[in-house]
Structure formats: structure tokens, C-alpha cells
Amino acid sequence: MSVAYNLVKMNKLSLDRKAQVIRVLCEGNSIRSTARITGSSINTVVKLLKAVGDACANRVEIITKSGKKFSELVQYHRGHCKTPFTDEEIEQKFHSLTRDLLTPAQREELFSLVWNLEQVEDVGKIMQSLII
């Protein structure tokens, strides 16, 4: 048996081993810990994680009041690296998540600081803007 054959064979996980890797990841373990616990390589865990993520497409179906159906397969959710948010969507999401926590002035200041992080000379300003 050649070395190349053995390497290919080692990278093929059985369905039980794949399930074990996913279970360990779902328990909240890091990729490195999962590799160590399951005896898999880090690259194998990462490849499996990517394959699982790619397989998680969803069929979205909308039925209007008139009964008309619209259906589409959504491969990547909004905000995924393959369907990223626009700048406006990021700002809207930020404001919707902080609306009940910060005043409008605090939200504007914090968003501006984080959005322009490269120009912030003192990152302590970010922490100060979080004081409620």
C-alpha cells in the first residue's frame, strides 16, 4: 500500500465519525479541541464544518393572503460572507440591537467610533461610550 493511499484513506471519515465531530462542535468545543477529542486533524474538522455549513440551505416559502405561493432556495443567509450586509444594513442592525440600551446620542457616537476604528486614537473612548 502506498503512502498516498494511506493519507487519502485517513482523511475519509465514516458517517459515525462525522456525526461525532459535529456533536463535539455543537457542545461548544473549539476546532482544536474537537480535533483532539475525536482524533481527527484540524483540517478535517474545518472541511467538515464547511461542508455542513454549505449543506444548510433552506427553502423559504411565502404564502400571500390571496393564497399565492412563492418559494426559493436560500443557500446563504443574509450577512454570510457570500451575501454580506450593505453598510446601511449593518447600521440598521446596530441601531435595532442597541435601541433599548443606549440613548440615540450614545448609539451615534459608538457607531461612529467603531465604524471609523482606524482613526480612533484612544480606544478607551469606545468603552466610555458604552456607559449607561
Domain positions in the chain = 3-54, 87-129
Q: How far is the C-alpha of 47 from the C-alpha of 38, rounded, in Å?
A: 15
| Contact assessment for residue 63 and residue 49, using Cβ atoms and an 8 Å cutoff | no
Read off the DSSP letter of residue 99: T
The pTM assigned to this predicted structure is: 0.52
Mean pLDDT by 10 residues, the chain (132 residues): 42 86 95 95 92 81 94 85 92 95 92 94 89 78
Q: All 3 cell numbers of residue 108?
A: 451615534
pLDDT at residue 103, rounded to an integer: 92
Total residue length of the chain:
132
pLDDT at residue 2, rounded to an integer: 45
